[in-house]
Amino acid sequence: MYCTLEQLINWFSEQELIQRTDREPFVGVINEPVLDEAIAAAGKKIDGYLRSVYPLPLSAALIASSGLPEICGDIVRGILFKGIENEPVRIAYKDALAWLKDVQAKRVTLGEADETVVDTGTATIRQGESSVNWDSF
């Protein structure tokens, strides 16, 4: 998951999220299943751009240190405003997709490589996937 309910509330307000997710019968609270569906759809869209450049899933540390939470927020908001004319939301959504296209084209990176290095004094151990097929040993 690239962004959380708490982040969305901080960025856009609880009232806006209630207005965009509350369904009949209206109860005046954020409809979390509706919001979760929008977050999941935004995540799939983001993954579509990133999968050709980064191994997925990304680590929580890389997500947090990149611009992805905010990008996801703008995409979620665009999804929630679908069919409603709101120029600032539309522009933010388009800008988020443009940024993802730049990441995909390698004009922008998400930040440092997702790698933890441990120096044991005699060997360097790197956390992550190995390029060696260890099944044959």
Domain parsing of the chain, residue ranges: 5-136
What's the rounded Cα separation, in Å, for the pair 50 and 6?
24
Single-letter code of the amino acid located at 11: W
State the pLDDT at residue 118.
38
The residue behind tokens 């800008």 is 95
Tell me the average pLDDT across 86-103. Answer: 98
Other residues' Cβ atoms within 10 Å of the Cβ of residue 105? 11
**Is pLDDT at 127 greater than 70 in this prediction?**
no
- pLDDT tens-digit profile of 104-121? 999 999 986 544 433 344
